[in-house]
Amino acid sequence: MMEIAALYFISFCLLVGACFIAIGAIGLLRFDDAMARLHAPTKVGTLGVGALLIASMLHSDLFGEGWSMHEVLIMAFLFVTAPISANFMAKVTIHAKACEAPPKPSEQSKWSTLDVPEEDLEVAEQKV
């Protein structure tokens, strides 16, 4: 009885993972600008791959040769690198002025990437 319930849960994880990955791929193709395209593979795709890895871990534990650390390492690497790479791609897009710029900061706060002192702007323009 326990094996049947485990198979149903593994099948559910596989279906959820496949659906999230398909939604991420469709979003990557359908969104218009680069900033919107970042959300589909990094958010939805990561969740989909996580569900597939959970299904793989459960299947190998219940029906294979035992529990393995490979899936945990893949999941940890994926969950750490996906947000960092998306952040770098967003910063490059903003600095290349390939998208609509975020609003100007208020007097109390500063944007870490866009609030540049006037003297540094003059130096940057001279180098270009």
Domain residue ranges in the chain: 2-102
DSSP annotation of 112 reads T
- Give the model's pLDDT for residue 126: 65
Which of 76, 43, 41, 82 has its CA nearest to residue 57? 76
pLDDT tens-digit series, residues 78-88: 888 888 888 88
31 pLDDT more than 70: yes
d(CA 23, CA 20): 5
115 or 106: which leads in pLDDT: 106
Fold designation for 2-102: Helix Hairpins (1.10.287)
CB-CB neighbours of 55 under 10 Å = 21
d(CA 92, CA 21): 25
CB-CB neighbours of 108 under 10 Å = 5
pTM of the model: 0.72
- At 98, the pLDDT band (50, 70, 90 cuts) reads confident
